Amino acid sequence: MFDISKATLFRWEREGLISGPPRDWRNWRLYTRENVTEIQKMIRARKLVM
């Protein structure tokens, strides 16, 4: 969906740059529309810096 690695996504979450998504009973991340919007904003911001 996005051209970023899982490691980047998890790092942003760990560093508090994006909020952590809710998880299901298997502890899998369940990304909401709000999470996707946050990720899109981070990607745009990263492109501006580069």
**Digitized pLDDT (tens) for each residue of the chain, 50 residues in all:** 788 999 999 999 999 999 999 999 999 999 999 999 999 999 999 888 87
Residue linked to tokens 């298997």: 26
Of 47, 50, 23, 49, the C-alpha closest to 35 is 23
* Interatomic CA distance for residues 41 and 2, integer angstroms: 12
DSSP string, 9-50: HHHHHHTTSSPPPPB-TT--B---HHHHHHHHHHHHHHHHH-
List the domain boundaries for the chain.
6-49
What pTM was computed for the model? 0.82
pLDDT at 2: 82
pLDDT of residue 1: 78
